Amino acid sequence: MQANSKPLALVVLAAGAGTRMMSDLPKPLHPLGCAPLLAHALASAAPLEPSRIIVVTGHGADQVEAALEDIVPEAVAVRQAEQLGTGHAVLQAADALEGFEGDAVVLYADTPFIRPETLDSMRAARASHDIVMLGFEAADPTGYGRLVMDGDRLMRIVEHKDASDDIRKISLCNSGLLCADAGVLMDTLRKVGNDNANGEYYLTDVPEIASADGKSATVVVCDEMETLGINSRTELAQAEANFQALRRAEMLENGVTMQAPDTVFFALDTYVGRDADIEPNVYFGADVTVESGARIRAFSHLEGCHVSAGAIVGPYARLRPGTEVGNNAKIGNFVEVKTAEIGEGAMVNHLSYVGDASVGARANIGAGTVTCNYDGVMKHRTEIGEDAFIGSDSMLVAPVKIGAKAMTASGSVVTEDVPDGALALGRAKQVNKPGLAVKLMDRLRAIKAKRG
């Protein structure tokens, strides 16, 4: 996808306190589509195949850096000990960029909707300009920095509070994102001063300083929605709505059927194959793959699982992390599955819990079956063979193995392995006491009446 062949470095700013979020959680880690905001920023640039990724941390640095290990382990974290402005933040990446010959793109951890195509356009513009800023035509430019152009050259950025009436009429506004040769960017940032009301070093000063040094700057324009930043819980909620709208439209365009798209919720990494059918009120948590032709029925909750082609899940099913559902398998209503493999054509149709287990192909799990996997300290595994039939209300006390084509009688508590083809009965012997039910009820009613 890259528009030029130069190596690319990302510098992602993730040091801000985010005080308007009113949260102990650092702002870059607030979830959007079941993934931290920081993950969205990094994902937007991933198609450009950056050779270096530098994340500038500050507030809550330990937490952000721990999350970064999970998101992009190869990233380098550098700390901004004092938050002295965006220019100062980018300058913290100077040592990590030492000797790097290529372009640097500056992103923000709280700006999750930048498209890879937009970043590619910024890199393409570098062919004729030293500095490329990302701008947008604002519906309401109030409060934004204005981009003052002379033809295709960006002359300077003027903050709203410093702008004259004429400049305030400009609707082309600054998003804050920048692409430049890494060496030029760092040299220019070292010339940025802090002679302003806040005593901070601003990235917005770069184009004007670069122009004074004989360098040229320009602007690439994107849709305003791409530049939306997250600074409050209200904006986070709006961002979630925007994210879901984009993902739903993408799914429909890619051949996924949804009867009520507005009721289906996706994560950043949700994958659904074409001709899959997603019924209303389905929630996808992180790390879910649904293959082509599968059907997820209403009111189901999926996370950390893989659903194979032709499988049916739900309604009212819950698939927890580690679940693998085989081709044409069925997971029915009010069934919960966790860390388990459900074989091809197997059925767990209703009211059962299958955890830490493997279920063989074509096995049938009756209603009310429980794999008793936890002894209070450790988890244990249940193995159910191919074509096995588990009678309703069976308690399978792990560790236990049910052989191929074996059966358990309804209501059995199974504590020992069942050989292939065997029938296991684990019930207490039934004893009938004639007339005792009537006598017992009469006695209980008498006691109740006396207490009344």
Cα–Cα distance, 218 to 156 (Å, whole number): 10
| Residue from 40, 160, 350, 380 carrying the catalytic annotation | 350
Q: How many CA atoms lie within 13 A of 292 on its CB side?
A: 4
Cα–Cα distance, 40 to 67 (Å, whole number): 13
- SS3 at position 347: strand
In this structure, how many other beta carbons lie within 10 angstroms of the beta carbon of residue 28? 29
Q: Is the dihedral of CA 436, 441, 442, 446 positive or negative?
A: positive
Cα–Cα distance, 147 to 217 (Å, whole number): 11
- SS3 at position 330: strand
Residue 189 bridge partners (DSSP): none
Cα–Cα distance, 178 to 267 (Å, whole number): 28
Whole-number Cα distances in Å, 218 to 189, 193, 249: 17, 22, 32
Cα–Cα distance, 314 to 16 (Å, whole number): 42
| CB environment 334-366: b (16+ within 10 A), e (fewer) | bbbbbbbbbbbbbbbbbbbbbbbbbbbbbbbbb
Does the active-site annotation cover 350? yes
343: closest CA among 315, 313, 372, 311? Answer: 311
Residue 131 bridge partners (DSSP): 180, 217
Cα–Cα distance, 103 to 80 (Å, whole number): 22
Residue 374 bridge partners (DSSP): 379
Cα–Cα distance, 128 to 7 (Å, whole number): 17
227: closest CA among 134, 292, 157? Answer: 134
Active site residues: 350
